[in-house]
Amino acid sequence: MLNAFIPIWLLTALGYLTARFDLVGAASADVEAVLGRFVFRVAMPASLFGMLAKADLHALANTSIVAFGISSLVACGLGLAMGTRVFGRDVPNGAVVAMASGYVNSANLGIPVAIQVLGNAVFLSTVILFNTVLVTPIVLTLMGLSDGPAPGLRQRLRGIAMLPVHNPIIIASAFGALVSATHFHVPVDVSSALSLLGGAAVPVALITLGMSLHAGKGAGKRAGKSTGRAEALDTANQAKFIRSKKSVITETIASIALKTAFQPVLAYVLAHYVLNLPAHDVLAVTLCAALPTAQNVFIYASEYALDTVFARNAVIFSTVASMAGLWTAAALLK
């Protein structure tokens, strides 16, 4: 299982060294922003479209994903409530806390862990499908909400309804689901090109995450919103992220606890006691729920000019903490 974590650490370390020694010949914060936009607007949409175009959407109709899905949504909901009600964040930044608290790293870490412990990645494919089809659109819609003057109800509803239309990840996912539902076969050459492009999403995202470890010391620039309104946060926007050290530590620990402890325990209770699933399915549900926060939360926070420092810390520290949770789940339930 440890081998599954090694590529994550290596690519993150490579990103840090790239920024630390200025290997790309430009300001590290600028490069970080460009790479983040590339992942969000180009590589990740290609990856999600290719995955959903080949997916069986009927896989969502199984009992095991119910247990996992409820645990994920409850953890995200508690994270959103904690971020907005307890720590005073606005809804977009509260969505960052929500995603950090319940959105699992199901792809680049989950697949090797599942193969090692479960023997296959069948259930992981359902988890990836659940995150892509349901959780991602909800979180990105919340992140895209404006914190400006409150509009009327009709304007607010229209604004929320139009947000997905401007989001390349949601658009690509919707087209991928449509291709799957209509059984349309994407031409081989197009599919191969999308696979090559989508394959860049995870490694570039991890390198971007690593670069933020060094670039974050400058506390400067973040990728602008998908509307392109700003690449650097202005002074007023930066002030939203200024918190006491105690508050930052408390919020980070609480979010990591939701992700690496509360979610897998809730998933186990639902799978074992409520749904009475077979032992192997209980292990699969619990193990997947114990996976750490996905690096996507950092990419999304960067794209929407939100609190990338919290997102980065949540990804890194939850990955460390999840090692104990994954080993415990495998040892007790396998």
Nearest 10 degrees: Cα torsion 135, 138, 143, 146: 180
Calculate the alpha carbon distances from 147 to 14, 93, 144 in Å. Answer: 36, 10, 9
Residues in the chain: 334
d(CA 264, CA 68): 9
pLDDT at 236: 44
Which are the contacts of 99, defined by CB distance < 8 A and separation ≥ 6?
A: 76, 79, 135, 139, 293, 294, 296, 297, 300
- Whether 289 is covered by a domain: the verdict is yes
Q: What is the pLDDT of residues 299-330, one digit of tens each?
A: 999 999 999 999 999 999 999 999 999 999 99
Q: How far is the first Cα of the chain from the last one, in angstroms, to the nearest whole number?
A: 14
DSSP 226: T
Q: Identify the three-state secondary structure at position 232.
A: strand
Domain residues for 271? 2-328
Nearest 10 degrees: Cα torsion 89, 90, 95, 96: -50
> What's the mean per-residue pLDDT of the chain?
85
Question: Rounded to 5 degrees, what are φ and ψ at 312?
Answer: -60, -45
- Whether 213 is covered by a domain: the verdict is yes
Domain count, the chain: 1
- Whether 334 is covered by a domain: the verdict is no
- Whether 333 is covered by a domain: the verdict is no
Token pair listed for 161? 């309804």
In the chain, pLDDT over 90 holds for what percent of residues?
Answer: 55
Are 85 and 296 in contact by the 8 Å Cβ rule? The answer is: no
d(CA 175, CA 154): 27
pTM: 0.82
- Our CA angle for 115, 43, 256, nearest 5°, is 55
pLDDT at 62: 87
Token pair listed for 142? 């919340």
Q: Identify the three-state secondary structure at position 221.
A: strand
Q: What is the pLDDT of residues 61-106, one digit of tens each?
A: 889 999 999 999 999 999 999 999 999 999 999 999 999 999 999 8
- Whether 254 is covered by a domain: the verdict is yes
Q: What is the pLDDT of residues 99-150, one digit of tens each?
A: 999 999 987 788 888 888 888 878 888 999 899 889 998 999 899 886 555 5
- Biggest CA–CA distance in the chain, Å, is 57
CATH number at residue 112: 1.20.1530.20
d(CA 196, CA 193): 5
